[in-house]
A and B are shown apart, each in its own frame.
Chain A
Amino acid sequence: MPRNFRIKDCFRSVSLFPACLSAMMQSLLLLRSARCLWTRGALLRTPRRPASSGSPQLEELFSGGGAMRNFLERLTGPGVQAHFGVKEPELAMAARKLREKEQELQEIERLLEDENEDLRKLAENEIISCQKELTKLKQKIILLLIPSEETDENDLILELTAGVGGQEAMLFTAEMFDMYQRYATYKKWHFEILEYFPSEIGGLRHASASIGGPEAYRHMKFEGGVHRVQRVPKTEKQGRMHTSTMTVAILPQPTEINLVINPKELRIETKRASGAGGQHVNTTDSAVRIVHLPTGVATECQQERSQIKNKEMAMKKLRAKLYSMLLEEETNKRYSARKIQIGTKGRSEKIRTYHFPQNRVTDHRISKSLYDIQSFMLGEYLLDELIQSLKEYADYESITEVISERC
């Protein structure tokens, strides 16, 4: 492919692209910068707990004199109207309510020093309900501030590839695949295997699956990257500990509108290229390979006995591949000055370690460790808990970004 080749040129509906992309790119950028901070260790701290009743993070964020305060004051102040976005009126209203409630609280607090005991008790009760409402308002403000990615609601394609470590890496990749399959079941998502290339001893070289369901991408996007395993492999005879890796890639599945492919630019290859075809022959080879001619990107599928199903699945994969290339190209073009490679970064960074002797899973991005690997790899509440922490952390970081950008 020529160096300056732009995949964007291959699609018909690109006119839609810049508008929807800019919003997404903005949020991607925020996440990216948040991640940079994590990796640099600048913001190492225990991850934020869920923003429930008066968590320290929530208080920290809303502390007096902080960026959030300044931001909210600016928002409710005179002359700053309506140029931020759609959510802004709602946000301003919440900020105003917050200020009113806080004033109310201050007034009630003064009653605590009153001589009348009944009045003091009444005030205490009032304060509790007031604080509850304040927490709710703060959470609402946070929700309004979190930028959502355009692709958050999309389905996705999960790709797993064994990395360094030979058979052991492949065995671990197979276990990871099972973990994600169970996670999809746990989240009641649709999980469809698109390809699966095992190794002879029960490992997995490479596999991909299509995952669909509410907020599937929003959760799974944090899984992209290099996962490292440390343990004594089944294949090891002298009891030495090995370190192996595998890579997870998460590709958002484009919708019909995100990506339109001209059928004329596809070459669909099946095993029935010659002969009379139809009723004259009875062949069972149902493998399908699709080549996107302008880019040379090819996908194939032989998971199914039905040829048309194989074609649908190969097409799904092709669309996801082209879409991620498209996103990457747009990103590179926009942020080349900052050397940010959003599309590829997730695949090259070591994000998590599975340390079997210590029975520990550590996510390096938020320095969070969970114990009980076996339960973690069941793909149920422990994995979900970690993903939730990542999500909250990313939300927290992006809010900080949003605020500092706007102030």
Chain B
Amino acid sequence: MSDTLLQVNDLRLHYQTRNGVARAVDGVSFDIRRNEALVVLGESGCGKSSLAKALLRVLPRNINHFGGQVHFAGLDLMALNDEQFRKQIQWNRISLVMQAAMNALNPVVRVGEQVAEPLRVHRGWNKKQAMEKVAETFNKVGVASDFLSRYPFELSGGMRQRVVLAMALVTEPELVILDEPTSALDVLTQASIMNVLKRIKQEDGTSFMLITHDVATSSELADRVALMYAGQMVEVSDARDFFHAPAHPYSKLLMDSVPRLHQPEPPVHIPGEPPNLHNPPAGCRFAERCPSRFDRCGQDPKPITLKDRRKVSCWLHAGEGQS
């Protein structure tokens, strides 16, 4: 598996809160190959954003537990200390487009300078070199280069989002993590940003990890799909398989709840609500809402590997595993 770029095993990120420990990311394993786009799907509060933060080590103050194995291009990321991680990984090799991009730009610094910052800090480029590169990247994401000397408040929401995207791409990192990059935008802007991403993936061979709750938008870019539920990954599979023949009961219900254009029956909704992350139930966390629940669901399901790197955490597939 030489083309594996990111290999994550049993990643955990728990927060200490007033009500106890919140297990936002609780034993997540997956991998991303070079030039592959992995879409992480999941409803609000299932730990998607925490997963992004854990990978790029942008941790809040109230950490209770942070651990697991993360290998990036053969490098053991968890073995790096914060300073090494900052210098070698952050933005040099992995970058992030944060959720709430509206506020992701410093209000009193010209956007050109902000986008150039990683080049100046991590690569030591001079201002002229960096600005040329920024103008080139702006061009790639569809921002006119005379926006370089503007301040964020002079830009529209869609433009700001593009600038934030340009910031993530300017160092040409191998992996770009996008956390809900289009959720606050109108449909047209969404589509045009997804097109930019597709083109960059094709032209530069960048890998993407796209975090979203929007099944329709995600299907445009996805090579692979990972579905999260209550801090865990219940299914990881090729996009085509996931969208056409979901394996996990939650995946099935989720796909049934997506409205389609030529579909006679109305979309269904999944009854109940996700469990509390403070005190998740033992065994399968989806069991309570699962229509195919049976005796074994009381035990923790192990991820079962099916064909084409497909992984499902469900006892229904216990007999089908390959090893």
The reply to whether chain A is a binding partner of chain B is no
Which B residues have a C-beta under 8 Å from some C-beta of A? none
Which A residues have a C-beta under 8 Å from some C-beta of B? none
